[in-house]
Each structure stands twice: as structure tokens, then as C-alpha cells.
Amino acid sequence: MTIPTVEIKDDAVRLIDQTLLPAECRIREVKTKEEMWEAIRVLRVRGAPAIGVAAAGALAVEINRSSSVDSARLLEELEAAADYLATSRPTAVNLFWALERMRETGRRHRELPASELKKVLLAEARAILAEDREMGRALGEAGAELIPEGSGVLTHCNAGSLATAGFGSALSVIYVARERGKSFRVFADETRPLLQGARLTAWELGREGVDVTLICDNMAAWLMKTGKIDLVITGADRVAANGDGANKIGTYGVALLARAHNIPFYMAWPSSTLDLSLASGDQIPIEERPAEEITIIGGTRLAPEGVKTCSPAFDVTPGELIAAHVTERGIIRPPYAENFRRVFAAEQGLE
């Protein structure tokens, strides 16, 4: 829980380079918007909340380094840098949410001298980071009751400290349940093609002393059938107004399996993941990843050169398959359209 996934300094954002885990836990200093774009695109920093925090930090650092002495000019640079970073990955709404919050902060302080504006933007990026940690902790507190003593918990991808500024979402629920003295067992799907479950979740949970067992994605059905799984909990990259939630590719399949075995499926996320502007998950843009991520693993080619591939990075689980959404505002059950509006509409400016 204390893993420094993202830190914001005055002249750089410091990230754990997640492409190197679990072999190596190396910090990478990201100093420019171009470096941050690359870091997000190749998943050095990944996980919806972490991407938002890192991008906000990169914007603040970029503006802090600018030689412009004129605030209007700085604001133009801020808008251009935010537009650019917004093209790094399309699905996790936290990225756009954090960029918008930085733009808005800039606009609100347009009258300040340039040196003060720079400080305000750095402070805002750090506030986004701090709030993400708080939301992670709070949603863990809210969701811990969903994990019964002695249960088997399945998770998919990595929705832990590494995916956020700390604590995580799905894994925060697990951390708080364990802190409350519950004993249970976590199964981590390896999560092909990029193996976030094997490389990151197994590493992170093991480091925290949580009882974790790694399985291949195609084993989940059998574990459910043989009674080893009592609930599924994942994170989310974008949740629409009707409760549909996008998460790492394979999540939808796991949710269908859970329904077939009468096992509850939960999604855990901070409110920066909610996109009430989308009526349903059908409108969530799904990122397509390069062929090499399927055809080559660890430098070894597994498929013939030139084979056609299809590699959506995310899928959308319909709200009907989700027993509850776990947020920093509590556990939210269906009907989602109505209950999301009641819990979140005011803070999203829709009331």
C-alpha cells in the first residue's frame, strides 16, 4: 500500500516503470509531456486512476519548466499540453477528468502572475494525487464487508496500489478486509496479453503478505465450478450512467462466468472513473492495442509473422451482471441510473 507508484516533484514526475515488474522495481523520472505520453502509451504507468494522476503531474511539471513569463501564454501551453496528453490512451476516463481539472484550475487563476500560476498548478496536481489515495482508502473501507471470512476472491488485471496513487480500488477492498482480521484467499487471473495479473497483482499482493494464487485466465470457470471462488471484484476504467463498466479485456467474460455460477461480481472504483455523460457502456471508446502484444511475449515470437490480430484492451460489463459498485461514497446497488444520480450528480455538476 506504500508503493510510490506516482510522485510529483517540481521538475519531474517519478513513476515505477511497470513494464519492468516483477523483475525490477525501478523508478523512472518523466520530465516532459512527450515522455509522459510515451509512459502512458506503453503502460509504464497504467491503471485508470494512476494515469490521471501522472498526466496531471506531467502538465504541472511542463508548465513549471516553461520560460514564458506571461500567464496568458502559460495557459495556452497548458491547453496544448492537455490536448496532447489526451491522445495517449482513450478508455480510462480518469485521464480526461484529471486533464480537465488542471485546465479548469488554470482558467480559474488566469489573473495570477506566471510564477504564482505555476505553483497553483503544481499544488492542484498534488491535490489530485492526495485525493486519489483518500478515495482508494475510503472505497476499501466501504467494500471490505463484501468479503466473507474464509472466502475465495477472484480478481482480474491489476486494480491495486500500482494502478492508483496508493491503496488501489479492488485491491484496497482486499487490503482493508485483511486489516480487519479476515482471512481469505485471492486468485489473480494472469490477464493476457500484457499479464498485469501475473506481473503486477501477484507481485503487489505477495509484497503485502496477502494469500494470492495465480491462475491462467482460462481456469476461472473451473475454479468457480469447483467451489473455490465466492466473489469476484475488479476495478474499472470508465463507468457509464446506467452502471455498465469498462475494465481490462476479459472482465466481461469473468462476469458472465460469475453469473452462470451464481457468484456475485463487484466493480470497485473512485468517482473519477464515473462518466455520467455517457448513457451506457456502448459509448465507451475501446482502445485497440498493437499486434506484437499478442504475438510476442518477453521477446519470443509465439505466432507467425504477419498473422492478423484483434486486440481490444478493454471490454464492457453490462450493469445487469454487476451485483454492486463499490465507491468512496459507499456500496451502490441497482438500479444504477437512479442511484448514481442520487449519490454523484451534484458533484459532477449535473444538478
Residues between 238 and 257 that touch ligand MRU (CB under 6 A): 247-248
Q: How far is the CB of 300 from ligand MRU (least distance, A)?
A: 21
Q: Considering the rule CB under 6 A, would residue 49 count as an interface residue with ligand MRU?
A: yes
Task: Using CB positions, name the residue nearest to ligand MRU.
Answer: 235
**Among the listed residues 64, 161, 196, 272, the single contact to ligand MRU using CB under 6 A:** 196
Q: Are 156 and 189 in contact (CB under 8 A)?
A: yes
- 312 bridge partner residues: 288
Q: Which of 132, 189, 217, 237 is catalytic?
A: 237
Strands (E), the chain: 6-8, 13-16, 27-30, 152-155, 185-189, 212-215, 231-234, 238-240, 245-248, 265-268, 274-275, 296-297, 300-301, 314-317, 324-327, 330-332
Q: How many CB atoms lie within 10 A of CB 311?
A: 16
Kindly state the smallest distance separating residue 181's Cβ from ligand MRU, in Å: 25
Contact 183, 152 (CB under 8 A): no
- Contact between 236 and ligand MRU by CB under 6 A: the answer reads yes
Say if strands 27-30 and 13-16 run parallel, antiparallel, or are unpaired.
antiparallel
Q: Rounded to an integer, what distance in angstroms lies between the CA atom of residue 219 and that of residue 215?
A: 6
Per-residue contact string for residues 56-95; x = within reach of ligand MRU by CB under 6 A: ------------------------------------x---
* Contact status: 152 vs ligand MRU (CB under 6 A): no
Active site residue 237: yes
Stretch that binds ligand MRU, among 46-54, 71-79, 290-298, 317-325 (CB under 6 A): 46-54
- Cell numbers at residue 5, please? 507508484
> What is the rounded distance in angstroms from the CA atom of residue 250 to the CA atom of residue 254?
6
Please identify, using beta-carbon distances, which residue of 78 and 267 lies nearer to ligand MRU.
Answer: 267
For binding to ligand MRU (CB under 6 A), which residues are involved?
Answer: 43, 46-49, 92, 157, 159, 163-164, 168-169, 196, 234-237, 247-248, 313
Which of the residues are catalytic? 237
